[in-house]
Structure 1
Amino acid sequence: MFNLFNLTLKINGFPMKEAQVEFEKNLQISDSEYHKFIEEKRKEIVQFHIENNPFYNNLVGNADFFDWNKLPILTKKNLQVPLQERLSKGFEKNIYINKTSGSSGDPFIFAKDKFSHALTWYSNIYRFGWFGIDFNKSYQARFYGIPLDKFGYYKERFKDFLAKRYRFPIFDLSDVVLEDILKKFQGTKFDYINGYTSSVVLFAKFLQSKNIVLKDVCPTLKVCMVTSEMLFDDDKILLEKYLGVPIVNEYGASELDLLAFQNPNGEWQVNSETLFIEILDENNQPVPNGTSGKVVVTSLYNQAHPFIRYEIGDIGILDEKSTWKKPILKQLIGRTNDIAVLPSGKKSPGLTFYYVTKSIIEDDGNVKEFVIKQTQLDCFEIDYVSEKELTSAQIEEIQKAIDLYLEPNLKFTYTRKEFLTRSNRGKLKQFTSLLK
């Protein structure tokens, strides 16, 4: 079998063999030795950037860099300076450069050295392999955005060809388009699906309306990986039923790596081979496992660009049974910039509204998708796509649930839409606060 995927990475200068050796060496480290391994890697990467990266050295200032908890928290705002000012000495060229999606509202350009990025690829290869997926052989059905300018579009299509992927652009997911997607599955031997949660869920609802299980029309399909947006329990049940394959929840960040990936036991296993992930409170102090806080990530290998104690913009909880070698992400609550502030002074993750509303609004399958915006302290707008308008009885039920789970006297307006606006990458932002 001609391994086109591996060859492409090699041609692009990514040292995949060396990355594989390093990654597999880390896998062999025992549970009892893992704490020591993480501490050594942390010290190593901090020391490197203190000595070779003026941007990071300046950020640390007089802090005692031997005391981990005294190191500064790096935010996306810190990184909104020209990339050249943030690179380590000796890494001005021959590096991997990309841009974050901007879903947090603070996009920026980042860099990784070639070895660090090769490790990211190997981390993906290893975890997808848990489900029998081989990037050189398995054919991917990809539900992702795509650049709409001619050059960007064909460049992405060519990359898809090299990586054994067929992309379904997700900016238009009307029934006519979903019908074409279904036909493509009927005539293609896809091995797995990978894509944005909301788009795959929309496709599953279309299958539900036709009472079709995708695995019946595409028997080669093994698994579906969803990413980038929240996966709710009832959506997971819907996906499992109408795709007919296991659903794997992926949590990653383009500037880092896969942060967590659902293992075959259904645990959301944190990547401890290339990253160190900690959960911190508002004062940047570690919280006990089982307690929610800010997700803060350190890239243990990226020498080109510092990602040390980097606040990714999410709120999460590590499971009480987590170990240094095998941390488990118990829950991802949402983004730190998606907090609703209520008239009573209460703060609530915006996804609480979405979750409470969702349990009622989608009950009969009429509503396909919806998003919530907070426009004032007590005012919210819900835009939704459906076959028919919401009834006054449904709206009353939603109001009752919100009164119960959040607080009374919040005002909601409902607008039925033909489609919902997605980001230029095709992501659907489920809750947005417009308050300053």
Structure 2
Amino acid sequence: MFPLFELTLKINGFPIQKAKEDFASILKIEDDNYQKYIEEKRKEIVAFHLKNNVFYQNLVEKKQFNTWEDLPILTKKDLQQPLSERLSKTYSEKTVFVNKTSGSSGDPFIFAKDKEAHALTWASIIYRFGWYNINFNTSYQARFYGIPLDFLGYQKERLKDFLSKRYRFPIFDLSDVVLEKIVYQFKRKKFDYINGYTSSIVLFAKFLKMKNIILKDICPSLQVCMVTSEMLFDSDKELLETQFGIPIVNEYGASELDLIAFQNTIGEWQVNSETLFVEIVDENNRPVPYGTEGKIVITSLYNKAHPFIRYEIGDRGILDEKSTWKKPILKQLLGRTNDIAILPSGKTSPGLTFYYVTKSIIEDDGNVKEFIIRQTKTDSFEIDYVSNFELTPQQIVEIEKAISKYLEPNLKFTYHRKEMLQRSKRGKLKQFESLL
């Protein structure tokens, strides 16, 4: 088949063929030489931005630094100034790839990549999807994503979907009537893979379970499902594997960077060490040993148009003890740093702990389809949920008993049954939110 996807990249000025060749060269670097490769690339990208980027010069405040750890941590708040003031010399908004982050961290901003760096991002994505025999030129994608609702934005995304061999299911309305229509499309189209937001795909799987449908039975061409952008819990992964009848692959990425980690064929969450350098740091921004939890800090090794050097992405995680420079493994992704619950005792806890404990109880019988938790005061939380029937008093007692056990007692909860949950403009579902 004609390579329409890669041709589209070329037409838009992204040198994808060269990027694929460069990426292949990086893959060939031996394990023993990999630390040297990373350290050289780090030095090169820092030297480039210290020479050519006024924004980064002002952030670092000096031309010399003794160790990597001397460099400042770049935060999202640092980036909330006009893009023109953050671009390197010789680059303009017309000569780079420009996009906007989703704002799931609470701090959205516009970013840029030079066209060579963006092509390298696509080379990285093409390579990883290739682990599962997915070819962007020929494989047909069922896409569970948001879509702009203004006319021009909507038509532009639909055109991109056509050129990229994707059929998009907009996820703002996932009522049973809409889900029935999605099932119909899987019966009539030969999809090769599914890609999209975790919460929406999980909701679809629950509908299939209710209807006693295995997706692979009605769509035999289906090979694999990649979920992204939201946490994938073990219980949800099991549900997806059962109802879809195909492997489920967990993807972790950021639009301003690249794929950060992608589940390999032996189930490890393999970190992208080709185009990124990923660190875990403590509260004082010092690197921690493998196996230790901390803030995720990422350096884009090739983006010359815009610096992402020691960039705090807003997530917490742990790199596995068996990680190496060439093959880092993400042992655990613990959620966003700003989604922390502060409790009356002074204890802090990842907000997803509430979500996880509550989920284990209220989804047992299949009544509750989705829910989100909001902290409104140190001792007060609201739970919005979509279900066939109201939660029973017994279920509420069980939720509060479990939270007392795993977190602390005497917390107050209010429950709101909804027809539909509020998603972001891009269709993401924020599972826990602190309003403190």
Task: Compute the TM-score of the two structures, normalised by the length of structure 1.
Answer: 0.99
Which residue pairs with 1:58 in the alignment? Answer: 58
Is this contact kept in 1: 2:291–2:319, CA < 8 A?
A: yes
Which residue pairs with 1:73 in the alignment? Answer: 73
SS of the residue corresponding to residue 236 of structure 1 reads helix
CA distance in 2, matches of 1:366, 1:349: 26
Residue 45 of structure 2 is aligned to residue 45 of structure 1: yes
CA distance in 2, matches of 1:311, 1:6: 31
* Structure 2 unmatched ranges of 5 or more: none
Which residue pairs with 2:12 in the alignment? Answer: 12
SS of the residue corresponding to residue 78 of structure 1 reads helix
SS of the residue corresponding to residue 357 of structure 1 reads helix
Is this contact kept in 1: 2:50–2:63, CA < 8 A?
A: no
SS of the residue corresponding to residue 116 of structure 1 reads helix
Look up the equivalent residue of 1:32 and give its one-letter code: D
Which residue pairs with 1:170 in the alignment? Answer: 171
1:177-209 Cα offsets, whole Å, 9 max, x none, are 000000000000000000000000000000000
Which residue pairs with 1:235 in the alignment? Answer: 236
SS of the residue corresponding to residue 59 of structure 1 reads helix
Is this contact kept in 1: 2:298–2:311, CA < 8 A?
A: yes
Residue 330 of structure 2 is aligned to residue 306 of structure 1: no
Which residue pairs with 1:381 in the alignment? Answer: 382
Which residue pairs with 1:330 in the alignment? Answer: 331
**CA-based RMSD:** 0.6
Is this contact kept in 2: 1:261–1:268, CA < 8 A?
A: yes
Residue 195 of structure 2 is aligned to residue 194 of structure 1: yes
Look up the equivalent residue of 1:107 and give its one-letter code: P
Q: Which stretch of structure 1 is more off in the superposition, 14-23 or 385-394? A: 14-23
Is this contact kept in 2: 1:213–1:243, CA < 8 A?
A: yes
Deviation at 1:65, TM superposition (A): 2.6
SS of the residue corresponding to residue 180 of structure 1 reads helix
- Moved >3 Å (runs of 4+): none
Is this contact kept in 1: 2:60–2:72, CA < 8 A?
A: yes
* Percent identity over paired residues: 76
Is this contact kept in 1: 2:57–2:63, CA < 8 A?
A: no
CA distance in 2, matches of 1:127, 1:30: 19
Is this contact kept in 2: 1:64–1:70, CA < 8 A?
A: no
Is this contact kept in 2: 1:350–1:431, CA < 8 A?
A: yes
Q: How does 1:69-108 map to 2 (within 5 A)?
A: 69-92=69-92, 93-108=94-109
Which residue pairs with 2:127 in the alignment? Answer: 126
Deviation at 1:63, TM superposition (A): 7.0
CA distance in 1, matches of 2:113, 2:266: 32
SS of the residue corresponding to residue 322 of structure 2 reads coil
1:195-252 Cα offsets, whole Å, 9 max, x none, are 0000000000000001100000000000000000000000000000001100000000
SS of the residue corresponding to residue 189 of structure 1 reads coil
Deviation at 1:383, TM superposition (A): 0.3
Which residue pairs with 2:292 in the alignment? Answer: 291
Is this contact kept in 2: 1:46–1:65, CA < 8 A?
A: no
CA distance in 2, matches of 1:27, 1:132: 18
Which residue pairs with 1:319 in the alignment? Answer: 320
Look up the equivalent residue of 1:3 and give its one-letter code: P
Which residue pairs with 1:113 in the alignment? Answer: 114
Is this contact kept in 2: 1:45–1:301, CA < 8 A?
A: yes
Deviation at 1:64, TM superposition (A): 4.0
Look up the equivalent residue of 2:351 and give its one-letter code: G
Deviation at 1:94, TM superposition (A): 1.2
Deviation at 1:66, TM superposition (A): 4.0
SS of the residue corresponding to residue 44 of structure 2 reads helix
1:346-391 Cα offsets, whole Å, 9 max, x none, are 1100000000000001000000000000000000000000000000
Is this contact kept in 2: 1:45–1:303, CA < 8 A?
A: yes
Look up the equivalent residue of 2:278 and give its one-letter code: I
* Structure 1 unmatched ranges of 5 or more: none
CA distance in 2, matches of 1:98, 1:347: 34
